[in-house]
Structure 1
Amino acid sequence: MHEETTSIPTRGSIYTAHLRSSSAVAIQFIAVAAALWVLAWAVGEAWVIILPVVLALIACTVLWPPVRWLRGKGLAPAAAVAVVLLVAAGVVAGVIALVAPAIAEQSTQLAQQASAGVVQVRDWLGGPPLNISETQLNSAVTAINDRLNSSSTQIASGVFTGVGAATSALVTVFTALVVTFFLLKDGPRFVPWLRRVVGRPAAPHAAELLSRVWATLGGFIRTQALVSLVDAVLIGIGLVILGVPLAYALAIITFIGGFVPIVGAFVAGGLAVLVALVANGPVNALIVLGLILAVQQLEGNVLQPWLQSKSMNLHAVIVLLAVTFGASTFGVIGAFLAVPVAAAVAVALRYYGEQVAKRQLGGAVPAQRRAAATDE
């Protein structure tokens, strides 16, 4: 009787055990959070190096299929990469040469129509129901001019900052092109090299995980390019039929914006509606808005689920949060890279879940065997 009483745990011992386990979890959480903070700090410090590499990897997912095809035809690796890069550069230069004259021709007309639109807005503000007087409008304009004059130093420093950013962007693009060339040329050697350097037992996991991430990124970029192309073609045709200025440029912006899911389509569509409003009036702008909404419904309900069902398995809320976080942290480039990075993280988490499930099943089998042996 005494032994049964002493074997029952006291409330204090239960509280202590719970506190001990909670403390262990808290310490582990703090350690993981500190490690993530150090990793984020290291990425921020090395961002000038990491960014060209990431952009090069994304470019390689698009350019690798033609490079592989040329290498399969017997062309040397360096020559195959050079041909593909030259063709890609020619396509980009051709698109710019096709659109630039239209932009230069219609930008003056658009500026004149914008000035006329400002006059119309001013007349509307002076009429009913607002009835804002000319003196009030002039004082508002004067206040804006005074504010701009007082901020001239900040504006000038912003211009120099913009020049520095443009120079940094050129350096980043050049570095990304060089890295892309060597990744396409020597990429097939990377996985064998990784297996030799890492060694077992981590090498198979690293190789499999990188292969899955590569396949996911490639599928996402190619699928998003196809979806963006369909959106740009449909919206561009509609803008041309409606006589909206800069239709070709707006179609290209729509194509580029398609690589930033949700947010990119919203910004590109809003810009098209704004141009239509300034150039052709509110009725034309409403028609453009209806066209963009129809195309986006086609994209969201047909193209995206059909084409991206196998390339990327991410919920729309995850995509939106990733784009918001990327844009707020790293700006435009962060918004562009947010979804590929989120997709890569999702692939890593799924692979980790698979390995946990395998170990769980592997541990369950010996336990079942021990139970069977005990019964015998």
Structure 2
Amino acid sequence: MEWPDSRSRVAWWAVALLLGAITAWVVLTYIGTFVLGLFLYYVARPAYRRFRPQFRPSIAAATALLVLAVPVVLLMAYTLAIAAQELARLQRTVDLGPLTDQVEPYVNVSEVVQDPAMLLQNPDVVNAGQLVAEGALGYVPLVGTALINVFLALAVAFYLLRDGDRLGRWIRETFDDQQAFLSVYLREVDEDLGSVFFGNILNAIAIAVVAAIVYSVLNAFAPAEGIPYPALVAVLAGAASLIPVVGMKLVYVPLAIGLFARAVLRGDPLWFPAVFVVATVVFVDFIPDLVLRPYVSGRNLHVGLVMIAYIIGPLLFGWYGLFLGPLLLVVIYHFARLVLPVLIDGDGVDAMPVSVDRRDDGGESSDADDAVDSDPA
């Protein structure tokens, strides 16, 4: 194929800019869906690697998503829906001040999922089902939009799992330079995104879901009022787990003190706040941290930068800022750490302050390694 002349090249560059602008507009319009899909990809990738030797790529990718990604989405969606209902009740009794504008969009849609406690207290099964149907029918457009976005996110994760090697090879052949700057840069970004998404954020989601279950069970046996707003407290505990050092203790320690003080002042049994502390420490704090610690311990980012990204991301972008904030941090951080000094000094790739032999997930090579170092199987 002959290379086009200068006039043709200008025309083709105009077409490239137009197509690039359209692609950027689509991505920015559905940026939340794409970053959610990227998160689900990193969540399902360890399972995909286990299934890949036994199944075809499509079957392995679908199985990994069904085993890990879909349950995570369903459990977290229901937990957030119940937490939104409790937030709406809290807003009716407490002035949230400057936080009102931030929580208002989530409070307005909080009735789409009925409180399970109210449904269980209703002896009429038909009436309970009618309550669910009436609540859902009023939000058909919202639910439909949410389902479409979740489906697109799962599709993004599926094709990244199945065709990630092919995409990596295309990037290498199209954009890589002879000194392998891009190969090293992508490898570092891939490793830290895996740590941030599969380690930190999945850990926060697991804590929120487990805490919601534990606190709801405790409230079923509470001698008095029990834990106030259990699902909302669980979500706050999951979000606080992203903060280094103290983590979810910012939530459950003051709550435990409040439960003990309430029991003493009212003369209620002290066993309930004691059980709350034991259950929180064992099932909410210790076990999730023990299971997911190997995926967090290999993190190379500064903990302060990660904390800032987790806080600023949702404030700037909304719900998907929880995923987009860390993504931007990883991309910018490694560009400033690896590429920028080389661009300023004009040295080769050997001057990049990074070991190219780093591995994640128990010694296995990352997808970026597979994509840039070898052809797909």
Once the two structures are superposed, residues 63-120 of structure 1 have per-residue CA deviations (whole angstroms, 9 ceiling, x without a partner) of 11111211112x10111112222223663488589989xx79xx99xx8xx9xx97xx
TM-score between both structures, scaled by the size of structure 2:
0.51
The answer to whether the aligner puts 1:222 opposite 2:198 as a matched pair is yes
Report matched runs for 1:1-376 at 5 Å.
46-73=27-54, 75-88=55-68, 91-92=71-72, 95=75, 167-201=144-178, 204-224=180-200, 225-226=202-203, 229=206, 243=222, 244-245=226-227, 249=231, 253=235, 256-257=238-239, 261=243, 265=248, 308-316=296-304, 318-352=305-339, 355=342, 359=347
- Answer yes or no: is the 8 Å Cα contact 2:33–2:149 preserved in 1: yes
1:135 corresponding residue in structure 2: none
- Answer yes or no: is the 8 Å Cα contact 1:62–1:221 preserved in 2: yes
| Structure number with bigger Rg | 1
Instruction: Give the letter for the 1:84 counterpart.
Output: A
- Answer yes or no: is the 8 Å Cα contact 1:62–1:222 preserved in 2: yes
Once the two structures are superposed, residues 296-335 of structure 1 have per-residue CA deviations (whole angstroms, 9 ceiling, x without a partner) of xx89xx989997453142242x344434432332122214
Q: Which stretch has the larger CA shift, 336-345 or 215-224? A: 336-345
Cα–Cα, structure 1 residues 265 and 351, in superposed 2: closer, same or farther, change >3 Å?
same
- Answer yes or no: is the 8 Å Cα contact 2:342–2:349 preserved in 1: no
Once the two structures are superposed, residues 279-306 of structure 1 have per-residue CA deviations (whole angstroms, 9 ceiling, x without a partner) of 98988999899889989xx89xx98999
Cα–Cα, structure 1 residues 45 and 264, in superposed 2: closer, same or farther, change >3 Å?
farther
- Answer yes or no: is the 8 Å Cα contact 2:27–2:34 preserved in 1: no
Q: Distance in 1 between matches of 2:24 and 2:77?
A: 37
The sequence identity of aligned pairs, in percent, is 22
Q: Distance in 1 between matches of 2:25 and 2:316?
A: 10
Instruction: Give the letter for the 1:56 counterpart.
Output: G
RMSD: 5.7
Q: Distance in 1 between matches of 2:143 and 2:338?
A: 39
Once the two structures are superposed, residues 138-187 of structure 1 have per-residue CA deviations (whole angstroms, 9 ceiling, x without a partner) of xxxxxxxxxxxxxxxx99xx77xx96665544332221111111111111
Structure 1 unaligned residues grouped into runs of 5+: 1-38, 122-153, 364-376
More helix by share: 1
Instruction: Give the letter for the 1:349 counterpart.
Output: A
- Identify which of structures 1 and 2 has the higher relative contact order when contacts are C-alpha pairs closer than 8 Å and 6+ apart: 2
TM-score between both structures, scaled by the size of structure 1:
0.51
Instruction: Give the letter for the 1:313 counterpart.
Output: L
Structure 2 unaligned residues grouped into runs of 5+: 1-19, 95-103, 113-138, 352-377
Instruction: Give the letter for the 2:298 counterpart.
Output: K
- Answer yes or no: is the 8 Å Cα contact 1:228–1:258 preserved in 2: no
Q: Distance in 2 between matches of 1:93 and 1:352?
A: 36
Cα–Cα, structure 1 residues 261 and 169, in superposed 2: closer, same or farther, change >3 Å?
farther
Cα–Cα, structure 1 residues 220 and 272, in superposed 2: closer, same or farther, change >3 Å?
same
Instruction: Give the letter for the 1:81 counterpart.
Output: A
Q: Distance in 2 between matches of 1:218 and 1:229?
A: 16
